[in-house]
Homo-oligomer: A and B are copies of this chain.
Amino acid sequence: MSVRRSSVQQLLQSQELEREVVVKGWVRTRRGNKYVQFIALNDGSTIHNLQVVADAEKFPEETLKDVATGACVSVRGQLVASQGKGQSVEVQAVEIEVLGKADPEQYPLQKKGHSLEFLREIAHLRPRTNTFGAVLRLRHALAFAVHQYFNDHGFYYIHTPIITGSDAEGAGQMFRVTTLPDDHPPRTASGSVDYAEDFFGKQTNLTVSGQLEGEIAALALGKVYTFGPTFRAENSNTARHLAEFWMIEPEVAFNDLQDNMELAEDFLKSLVRYALEKCPDDLQFLNDQYDKELLSRLQFVVDNEFQRLTYTEAVEILKTAKQKFEFPVDWGTDLQSEHERYLVEKHFKKPVILTDYPKDIKAFYMKLNDDNRTVRAMDVLFPGIGEIIGGSQREEDLEKLRTRMQQMNVPEEELWWYLDLRRFGSAPHAGFGLGFERLVLFVTGMGNIRDVIPFPRFPKNAEF
Contacts and interface: CB of A to CB of B under 8 A. Distances in A.
B213 A100 contact: no
A179 to B, nearest CB: 5
Interface string A174-207: 0111110011010000001100000111101010
A219 B179 CA distance: 34
Interface stretch (A56-64, A264-272, A287-295, A424-432): A424-432
A17 interface: no
Interface in A13-59: 24-27, 43-45
Interface string A335-374: 0000000000000000000000000000000000000000
A7 interface: yes
A163 B454 contact: no
Interface in A198-250: 199-202, 204, 206, 213, 216-217, 219-223, 228-229, 231, 233, 235, 243-244, 246
A161 interface: yes
A420 B154 contact: no
A157 interface: yes
A177 B216 CA distance: 27
B193 A183 contact: yes
A214 B393 CA distance: 38
A200 B454 contact: no
A24 B254 contact: yes
Contact-residue size bin, chain A (C-beta under 8 Å from the other chain):
35 or more
Contact of A464 (B139, B216, B422): B216
A177 B176 contact: yes
Nearest to A99: B427
A428 B179 contact: no
B158 A137 contact: no
A50 B213 CA distance: 26
A102 B156 contact: no
Contacts of A201: 459-462
A400 interface: no
Interface in A404-452: 417-418, 420-428
A283 interface: no
A147 interface: yes
A253 interface: yes
A308 interface: no
A165 interface: yes
Given A43-B222, A202-B462, A220-B127, A454 B160 contact: yes
Nearest to A214: B454
B44 A221 contact: yes
B106 A423 contact: yes
A347 to B, nearest CB: 33
A221 B133 contact: yes
Given A127-B217, A144-B147, A136 B158 contact: yes
13 contacts: A25-B222, A74-B254, A99-B427, A133-B220, A136-B158, A148-B148, A162-B162, A175-B199, A177-B177, A177-B206, A199-B460, A200-B457, A229-B229
Given A44-B253, A133-B221, 4 more contacts: A44-B156, A44-B220, A72-B219, A103-B424
Interface of A: 5, 7, 9, 24-27, 43-45, 70-72, 74, 99-103, 106-107, 123-125, 127-128, 132-133, 136-137, 139-140, 143-144, 147-148, 151, 154, 156-165, 173, 175-179, 182-183, 185, 192-193, 199-202, 204, 206, 213, 216-217, 219-223, 228-229, 231, 233, 235, 243-244, 246, 253-254, 396, 417-418, 420-428, 453-455, 457, 459-464
